Structure 1
């Protein structure tokens, strides 16, 4: 009797394992959204400080690891800019942003971001760079910022104003409010000079363009936006909790709050999911297979009704009107059939990416296909 019970339990455990394994694998491949980006907003990562905008390093790491396990793909600020200009991004794309330039980004967030290879951008209040320890919450030093931006290809910085992250006696945010007896021209000059100062103080701390900003308190006005544009800002972030899309105003980019202590990894996932914007059905993006492989450094040759591709040591064969290809001697299923269109053999970009084993990005402005640049850390 006990032997039969033991066998029954063993078979049940085996069955449970077989049942759970494919479900776990499937979750990591789910596509929740495409052609839009969840821009997340954080402020302070600290294990003893407490506030509505402070979370522990453990919670921060758990959030990122959970999103990674669910199949989200983290992108850099540069990839986000390219997306706004028309380039493709991975499905379930996420951009991590931080405000204020706190030292806790360097001590608490950066080690986690570096370990997980998750890109992020920090919008810095540059007035605090003169004396990082003088503010209520210590700020990063110039040396710390420069170390991160030059040691990796995925940590970026931007402006959070120089000296306008405060409220005026009227209660208005300093970026949009008027000082006593301040006329229009004086106001515009104040905002322009402050933004120029912010950009100037960050110059030399990164090799990337300094053309992104987060509005203090997420507040702006047409007059303020006009002046920051004159100072060279091309991308500006608010705190409107929506998904970012290519059609959105580049100076009013929304962000979803992720940096409050009550936002568990599961809650953050649900917060993103409920903000996904419905998109009308559209045909998958197709590219000229021969041209794409050539742009990746490979070659192509036509043989009868087939197109043979070579990339590195790998050889691939595409058959027109077939929904499968070959990689070496192995057959690979495609989501969409290979087609001949206008004299070119075309393949869905997602299928080509899966076939060659590289995450690919298409930039319509140049008509080019390239492999995504992987986050990397320079060796000492």
Structure 2
């Protein structure tokens, strides 16, 4: 039976449906970085408006298609949270974020994201929900937000404050600055109430937790960060142009700007790769082959130096200490050898993923391996 049929049976066993675009199926296999995430920042997608933070829908689509063709893997907000908690992400992982909750996200970006199955999160200024067309740049309505978050499993929303996205007369960002004559307690109450109002106004527009925020202008202070955390925010994004790593402060997550008109697809690719964090001596993640096979709906047996895996209708034979596997009469090249360690036969997670032809995620908290949930329209 062909590999395509075998994988279809495997997915039915574990109850997942994978939807891949033709472009995604042709991704490069190059690995530029592992165990870190390029968080991209956008604002406004529009074909006639112009500004330093506005790009056309064509440039946006060209950027995403170029990154897909180069082998980047777009992840969801939930996958990013799981990564920060210890789970794995694919090599070349990217998270797409938008600030401000502009209507252009719904009209310009969303159709492209949906067609390419690329996840994204939009940080909304919730005071604009009362009169979406009254803001300087039209904002999304509650119905538009609700439609996107409920029609897909890959569009998320978060806070960009309720009514603190502006500068005070003294030039300071409203989130961190003090009003004239404002004391410490009054400032704390202002930030706490604003954050709580933002979360409250987004409640009901999504089924996902509302615990993420992007700082207006990327500006925060230790006190402001502590206050939004008290209000229930667990993850907050800055505009520091670096790669996001698991060890970074979850309330000071960096982002790389992708939403300026001069950022071509090639320039964005180079911008990401210039910021990759060095990983000297990093070893590939290995998993117990028998346990992983069982968790994926298959089975494994080891006898002597031979490991036999069955996943769906596919059967693989692997030799301990070898970097090849056999499937029927064909041979499959592995990146890392199968090893016997502490009484277990282990395989590199990337190699197991390549064998079954599907991206996998490992969660150390539970010790489980699963196929990544594919972006899908409900």
Q: How far, CA to CA, are the matches of 1:84 and 1:10 in structure 2?
A: 29
Q: How far, CA to CA, are the matches of 1:71 and 1:215 in structure 2?
A: 30
Structure 2 unaligned segments of length 5 or more: list them: none
Gap change, CA 1:342 and 1:179, over 3 Å in 2: same
* Bigger radius of gyration among the two: 1
Gap change, CA 1:158 and 1:4, over 3 Å in 2: closer
Gap change, CA 1:345 and 1:11, over 3 Å in 2: closer
Structure 1 unaligned segments of length 5 or more: list them: none
Q: How far, CA to CA, are the matches of 1:98 and 1:212 in structure 2?
A: 12
Displacement of 1:328 after TM fit? 3.4
Partner deviation per Cα, 1:337-380 (whole Å, 9 max, x = no partner): 111111111011111111111111111111111111110012xx
8 Å contact from structure 2 (residues 23, 68) kept in 1: no
8 Å contact from structure 2 (residues 214, 238) kept in 1: yes
Displacement of 1:280 after TM fit? 1.1
Moved over 3 A (4+): 1-27, 302-305
Q: How far, CA to CA, are the matches of 1:67 and 1:58 in structure 2?
A: 14
Displacement of 1:6 after TM fit? 46
Displacement of 1:324 after TM fit? 1.4
8 Å contact from structure 1 (residues 316, 326) kept in 2: yes
Displacement of 1:21 after TM fit? 21
What RMSD, in angstroms, separates the aligned Cα atoms of the two structures? 9.4
Alignment of 1:315-334 (within 5 A): 315-334=315-334
Q: How far, CA to CA, are the matches of 2:76 and 2:8 in structure 1?
A: 51
Q: Which moved more, 1:24-33 or 1:113-122?
A: 24-33
**What is the TM-score normalised by the length of structure 2?**
0.92
Partner deviation per Cα, 1:122-143 (whole Å, 9 max, x = no partner): 0000000011000010000000
Equivalent pairs counted in the alignment come to: 378
8 Å contact from structure 2 (residues 162, 197) kept in 1: yes
Partner deviation per Cα, 1:157-196 (whole Å, 9 max, x = no partner): 0000000001111110000000111111111111001000
Displacement of 1:309 after TM fit? 1.8
Partner deviation per Cα, 1:56-105 (whole Å, 9 max, x = no partner): 00110011111111111111111111111111111111110000000000
Gap change, CA 1:174 and 1:21, over 3 Å in 2: closer
Displacement of 1:327 after TM fit? 2.3
Displacement of 1:49 after TM fit? 0.6
SS of the residue corresponding to residue 208 of structure 1 reads: coil
